[in-house]
Amino acid sequence: MLNEMIGLWIGAFLTLGIMSFLYKDNPWYKICEAIFIGISAGYWFASMWWQNLVAKLIDNLWPALVALGHGEIQYNLVYLVAAVLGVMMLLRLVPGVGWLSRWPIAVIVGATAGLQFINFLVSNGVKQIRNTIVPLFGPISDAGGIPPVQSWEEALGNVVILVGTFTGLVYFFFSKEHKGLFGGTAKVGTWFIMITFGASFGYTVMSRMSLFIGRLDFLVNDWVMVTLDFVGL
Amino acid sequence: MGYSVISGLRKSVPTCIIALTLLLGPSAFAQESPDTATVDSVFVSEAVESAASPRAAQLNVVQDSRGDAGGAISVKWFRSPDDGMGADNITGYEIFRSESPDGLFESVGFASRGRTSFEDATTVDGQTYYYYLATVSATGVSRSGVSAGARSSAQWLNTRDIDTLIIGFIICFSVIFFIYHAQKGKKLFLRKIAGLEAVDEAIGRATEMGRPILFIPGIQDLDNVQTVAGLTILGRIARTIADYDTKINMPVSRSIVMATARETIKQAYVAAGRPDAYSDDMVYYLTDEQFGYVAAVDGIMVREKPATCFYLGAFFAESLIMAETGNSIGAIQIAGTAMPSQLPFFIAACDYTLIGEELFAASAYLSDEPRQLGALKGQDVGKIIAMSVILVLCILFSVAAITESESILSLANTFKGWFSLS
C-alpha cells in the first residue's frame, strides 16, 4: 500500500506540474519537463538497443552470440548492408570522413520515396478514384447488376462525394491560376475541405476532452480518494 | 450477363503487359508443368456418392496462383448439377487438402453455392499438395476425386497489380516529360500559395526583431515522406536565414532527422558563402517520446520567444499544443502537414497553413528549380486523369442505371476494373 501511495503521489506531482504550464512557465514545470525528457530519452535508447540493434542486427549477423551456442544458428548477411550504412552514419563524428554519412541518408531518403510512391498511389490515388466512382441516379433495386441507389439520401450522398472530390482536386491543381470558373470550382473545393476539417476538429476535441477527463479521474479517484482512504478519512 | 464481357475485356490488360514481362526476363512467368494439374490427369479416386447426397461438383483445374508472390494455389471446379439447377439444394463447397494423395485431408476453406473457384493462400512454396472438393447440401455430402499434385511458387511480376503499374507509368512519364521541357527552358506556371509567399516575410520579421526562428520538422522519421518534404523546405529557409544572419533553433525527435537537418542547414550556409556561421548546435535532439518532445518544445518557446515558428512535417496530437503555445507568445506561425486530423488545429492556431499536397509542392515553389517544377506539373496531369476518370465513369454508371443498358454497364465496369486492388 505504501509503494502504491508513493507511485500515486509521484504521478500526481508530475501531472499537476505539467498542468501548471497552463498558468505560466515555472520551476515546477521545468522539473517535470526535465524528468519527462530524461526518462523518455533513456527509455527510447534502451528500446532502440533491444528492438533494433539486438533484435535486427546482432540477432542476424551474430546469432551465436545471442544464442550462446544453443539452438539453431542462421546467419542473415543481408543485414551487413544495414550495419555498414549504420557505421557510415556514425562517421560524421570523425573529422575528415564525415561526408560519408551522406550516403546512408541518401539511401534512406531514396528508398522512402520509392517505397512510398506505390503506397500513396494505391491508397491516395487508385483506391480513392475507385470509391468515388458511384452512380448518381439508379434503380431502387439491384437491376441488371447496377449498384442500387437505395434512397434519395444515398443519391444525394453520392453527388456530394463526387462534387467534393472533384472540386477538392481542382483546389490542389497548381499549374493554373484560380480565376474565373476554375477559381470558383476551387472555391467550392475549399468549402468542402473546410467543412471536413470542422467535423474533424470537433471529433478530435471530444477525444482530447476524454483524455483530460482521464487525468482528472486519476487525480480525484486515484490520488485524492486513495490518499484519504490511506489516512483513514 | 455483362460480366462475362467484362472478364473478357479485363483479360486484355494483362495480355498487353506480356511484352513488358518478356523484357523483364523469361522467368517472369514461372514454368507451367510442375505447378499445374488439369482434369485429364488429375483424379486418382472416384467421387463417393450416396442416394441422399447431391450430385458432386468435379474439379476443373488445380494450379499455382499466377502472378503472385507465392504461397497460394488456385482450385477451380465445375459446379454441381444441383447448384442453381436440378434439385438446386447445394449449400456450398468445402475444399480439402493433403500433402499426399492417400494421406489425411484437412479442410482449408468453404466456398458458397454458385462459386467455381477458391484460392488456398496457406501453402508453402515447393511443397506438393493434393485437393478434393466436398459438395455440401442439406441432405448430404458428395466428394470429388482427388487432384494430382500442385505446388505454389513465386513469379517475378505481380500481374494482379498491373493496373497500378500502368497508372504509375503514366504519372512517371508525365513527370519526366515536364521535367524535360522545364530543363529545356520552358517557363512553367505555378499558382501562388499564400503560406509560401509569407516565408520570406516571416524570416524578415525574426531578423528585425532579433529573435530566433523555430523550425519543427514533425515527430516522424525520414521514412515518412512529409518529413522529407519539411527538410526540403528547410534547405530553402536556411539559405535565407544564412543570408540574413538570423538564428535558427531546431529541436528534433529523431536522430536521423537531426543528422539530415544539420547537413541541410550546413549546405545552405556554404551556398550562402558563410560556412563559418554554421553551428551543429542549431539542430539538437531532445527525445523520441511524443509528449516529452512537446513539453520541451513548449518550454523552449516560452523561454526563447521565437519570432517565427515553422511546423512542416508529420504531426499527431502534439500539433495543437505547439501551435497554441506559439500563438500565445505572438510568433508568426507557418504550418504544413498532410495529416488530415491535425490540419484543422494548424488552420485554427497558425497564420498560414499548407494543406496536404501544398506541403509537397512547397519545395518546388520555393526553389523554382526546373526538375521540381516539372515534377509538380506532371502530378497535375495525374490529377486531370483522375478527375476525368471519376467524372466519365460516374456519368456512365448513371446512364447505365437509367437506361438499364448492359453494354454501357459492361463498359463502365471494365474501366472501373482498371482501378481494382489485389
Beta bridge partners of B78: B58
Prediction ipTM score: 0.85
Cα separation, B1 vs A145, whole angstroms: 9
Domain limits, chain A: 1-77, 149-233
Amino acid B403: pLDDT = 82
Cβ pair B415, B396 in contact under 8 A: yes
Amino acid B86: pLDDT = 80
Pick from A25-34, A63-72, B148-157, B378-387: least confident: A63-72
DSSP A231: T
Low-confidence stretches of chain A (pLDDT beneath 50):
141, 143
Whether residue B113 is predicted with pLDDT greater than 70 in this model: the reply is yes
pLDDT band of B7, cuts 50, 70, 90: very low
pLDDT band of B1, cuts 50, 70, 90: very low
Cα–Cα nearest to A142, from B54, B351, B400: B400
pLDDT band of B163, cuts 50, 70, 90: confident
**What is the topology classification, in CATH, of domain B199-350?**
Rossmann fold (3.40.50)
- Which of B380, B419, B421 to mutate against chain A (most A CBs within 10 Å)? B419
Of all residues in chain A, the one with the smallest CA distance to B408 is A146
Interface contact flag, A133 B394, Cβ < 8 Å:
yes
- Convert chain B into a string of H (helix), E (strand) and C (coil): CHHHHHHHHHHHHHHHHHHHHHHHCHHHCCCCHHHEEEHHHCCCCCCCCCCCCCCCCEEEEEEECCCCCCCCEEEEEECCCCCCCCCCCEEEEEEEEECCCCCCCEEEEEEECCCCEEEECCCCCCCEEEEEEEEEECCCEEECCCCCCEECCCCCCCHHHHHHHHHHHHHHHHHHHHHHHHHCCCCCCCCCCHHHHCHHHHHHHHHHHCCCEEEEEECCCCCCHHHHHHHHHHHHHHHHHHHHCCCEEEEECCHHHHHHHHHHHHHHHHHCCCHHHCCHHHEEECCCCHHHHHHHHHHHHHHHCCCEEEEEEECCCHHHHHHHHHHHCCCEEEEEECCCCCHHHHHHHCCEEEECHHHHHHHHHHHCCHHHHHHHHHHHHHHHHHHHHHHHHHHHHHHHHHHCCHHHHHHHHHHHHCCCCC
Cβ pair A127, B177 in contact under 8 A: no
Amino acid B2: pLDDT = 36
Amino acid A72: pLDDT = 63
Residues of chain B contacting A163 with CB distance shorter than 8 Å? none
Q: For residue range B185-222, what is the model confidence (pLDDT) as tens digits?
A: 888 888 888 888 899 999 999 999 999 999 999 999 98
Whether residue B242 is predicted with pLDDT greater than 80 in this model: the reply is yes
Residue A72: exposure state from Cβ atoms within 10 A (0-12, 13-18, ≥19)? exposed
- Which of A99, A133, A158 to mutate against chain B (most B CBs within 10 Å)? A133
pLDDT band of B46, cuts 50, 70, 90: very low
pLDDT band of B74, cuts 50, 70, 90: very high
B61 Cβ under 8 Å from any chain A Cβ = no
Amino acid B47: pLDDT = 41
Q: For residue range B296-346, what is the model confidence (pLDDT) as tens digits?
A: 999 999 999 999 999 999 999 999 999 999 999 999 999 999 999 999 999
Whether residue B421 is predicted with pLDDT greater than 60 in this model: the reply is no
Q: For residue range B287-297, what is the model confidence (pLDDT) as tens digits?
A: 999 999 999 99
Q: What is the mean pLDDT of residues B225-252?
A: 93
Amino acid A231: pLDDT = 86
* Residue type (1 letter), B140: G
Interface contact flag, B191 A176, Cβ < 8 Å:
yes
The more confidently predicted of residues A142 and B237 is B237
Amino acid B250: pLDDT = 97
Mean residue pLDDT across chain B? 84
The more confidently predicted of residues B261 and B9 is B261
Whether residue B45 is predicted with pLDDT greater than 80 in this model: the reply is no
Q: For residue range B17-41, what is the model confidence (pLDDT) as tens digits?
A: 333 333 333 333 333 333 444 333 3
Class of the domain covering B31-155: mainly beta
The more confidently predicted of residues B66 and B32 is B66
Domain limits, chain B: 31-155, 199-350
